[in-house]
Structure 1
């Protein structure tokens, strides 16, 4: 029964998205609502950039089929929040908006979600010795986490296939956790998003029918990543069913979302050191560095997704044996090792290319 429903939501969302996107592409070309390449762009041709419209339609439709399992009665809040993000994201894709305007809209979307205490987190399960959460700290934590993850995910949407592939990886890990927690609503929702992203990926990697998710898509997916991550965090008492110490749950979730989080922190540090505004785009992201060294979009995406999976699996295995202090240290060291290895290999590849040219 569960397997059949899984297939229904996965295949259903794939087909709906797959059928909607060509219609969006047709309208975008007719109205000339195309993304023009610029100095930061990794593409050379004008490309439709409203793939996120298909995300919104598919996910909103899915809530009507998911309501049977919605014990938290969170669907309505999610629909309102996603609508706010859809409107502001669509506006930004058509007419670039200021960072302030987008930030206000994101905060408003978060407010609609938390107003009914749908993401109530009472404890961090002993993470770094933290147990009970003060209500005001809890509110700050919720707002900051969702806001940060929305914008972090937006920043990795720079090359073909990367954001959707990382999203598929993240929601698949989330789905596994929700399955073992017996939270069918969130499990099926993850499958809907995976199906949606898989359908989008087929177009995003296509040469003839290429489309980008745009800010509309990246904000919707980033928001859902944040919401589902925090929802998992609220199941501190039940997490023992997958063999994880409750205090290690925050680190496991962070490892699953490690690619957007680590890249954002790294870029923030670089811009701070160079005294540049964080809101001015550049080509310092890891995926841009891969591309600038001659890697294809597909190879870059493959390497980054594999790194994400390896970090997550290693942290999960270590979480069964070590406390949160030691696990956090492992996570930091592991992240540093991977980043140093990446830059060493890229530098070596660049040196080899220079030798060949000589």
Structure 2
């Protein structure tokens, strides 16, 4: 039963996170300008101006302080391991943003941080909820499966951070969705975790999207932190649904998680498949992301971001509506729709190029 105390804690946590991040950003921008810590535009970058990249530090500070204070009274033992993992992500991201980091070292850091959460924090998948007839999974399967999912989510959010407001906007939507469910099911510590992230990102979103003199990017620092937090929320959403019955239970929790996180996941899968089919490394950067296609169609950063956020919101609503559908059937509904959705921008772009070619060939 939700009480006024829990509601107040949640509200204060959100406001505190937003406030700390809001007042941190201008200071970090000054430091970035003094030390020349900028994101330099390149041939595949959607940005055209030199912009400071320390936004992830503001997100980290706002999130950590508000989560620790907000979770007082709902303290959970895993918090120290989550903070340790996020701190590792902070330093990995900072190094990569400032001096670049070898991809292998970056991946090793992600694995280390994830294993701290999985092994020491005991935050891991223990059931597939009946997917392919499998329910409980043994420890030796649980650990690598959880590690794989965490690495995928961390890098998926890192890869979609290509235009203003996209990674932060997607994470605001998804963390608020999970946070709302944690709240109504009585998992207040994780509800506070989710809303601390949403609050911090709300302030960052304003600077990133609407800032002129005070524009800032989250950099790898921010996107890695987002990926780590969201992976924890996804895991716990699945775990807390085990054995849960009633109006708040999700029968196909794994498929619902995919539906909620659909944009980062389908976009990453899509670009990896395209790169492999072209004979290049799946980790080779290019302009094949969904947001790049929308920009090529003539949309502005804000228009592309709002379009993608609207689609993701639609998938969240769809996923929630599949609450009582078994995991396999829910996946078979969500997956084809996601593939179809992800191919629309490329289809429209091809049509646009065909029309343009036809006009040049037959001007009359």
TM-score range, shorter chain: over 0.9
1:153 maps onto 2:157 in alignment:
yes
The equivalent of 2:226 in structure 1 is: 221
* TM-score, length basis structure 1: 0.94
C-alpha distance 14-213 of structure 1, shift in aligned 2 (>3 A): same
1:303 maps onto 2:317 in alignment:
no
Q: Deviations over 1:178-203 (max 9, x none)?
A: 11221111111111111110100111
State the 1:347 CA deviation.
4.0
The equivalent of 1:183 in structure 2 is: 187
Q: Deviations over 1:125-163 (max 9, x none)?
A: 212311110211100111111111101100000001111
Moved more, 58-67 or 153-162: 58-67
The equivalent of 1:264 in structure 2 is: 268
State the 1:237 CA deviation.
3.2
Structure 2 contact 185–248 (Cα < 8 Å) conserved = no
State the 1:243 CA deviation.
4.7
Which of residues 326, 330, 340 is equivalent to 1:327?
330
Contiguous gaps of at least 5 residues in structure 2:
none
Matched length? 356
Contiguous gaps of at least 5 residues in structure 1:
none
Structure 2 contact 32–38 (Cα < 8 Å) conserved = yes
The equivalent of 1:133 in structure 2 is: 137
C-alpha distance 112-303 of structure 1, shift in aligned 2 (>3 A): same
Root mean square deviation of aligned Cα? 1.9
Q: Distance in 2 between matches of 1:329 and 1:164?
A: 28
Q: Distance in 1 between matches of 2:130 and 2:284?
A: 38
State the 1:244 CA deviation.
4.1
Q: Deviations over 1:41-88 (max 9, x none)?
A: 111111101100111112221243144344541111111111111111
SS class of match (1:140): helix
The equivalent of 1:122 in structure 2 is: 126
State the 1:356 CA deviation.
8.1
C-alpha distance 272-293 of structure 1, shift in aligned 2 (>3 A): same
State the 1:275 CA deviation.
1.0
C-alpha distance 70-53 of structure 1, shift in aligned 2 (>3 A): same
SS class of match (1:115): helix
Moved more, 107-116 or 188-197: 107-116
1:7 maps onto 2:6 in alignment:
no
C-alpha distance 186-278 of structure 1, shift in aligned 2 (>3 A): same
Structure 2 contact 82–121 (Cα < 8 Å) conserved = no
Which of residues 236, 245, 267 is equivalent to 2:241?
236
C-alpha distance 337-240 of structure 1, shift in aligned 2 (>3 A): farther
Q: Distance in 1 between matches of 2:160 and 2:144?
A: 24
Q: Distance in 1 between matches of 2:68 and 2:176?
A: 22
Q: Distance in 2 between matches of 1:238 and 1:11?
A: 34
State the 1:345 CA deviation.
3.8
Q: Distance in 2 between matches of 1:8 and 1:122?
A: 33
Q: Distance in 2 between matches of 1:201 and 1:353?
A: 36
Structure 2 contact 81–121 (Cα < 8 Å) conserved = no
Moved more, 119-128 or 158-167: 119-128
Q: Distance in 1 between matches of 2:281 and 2:348?
A: 29
Structure 1 contact 124–236 (Cα < 8 Å) conserved = no
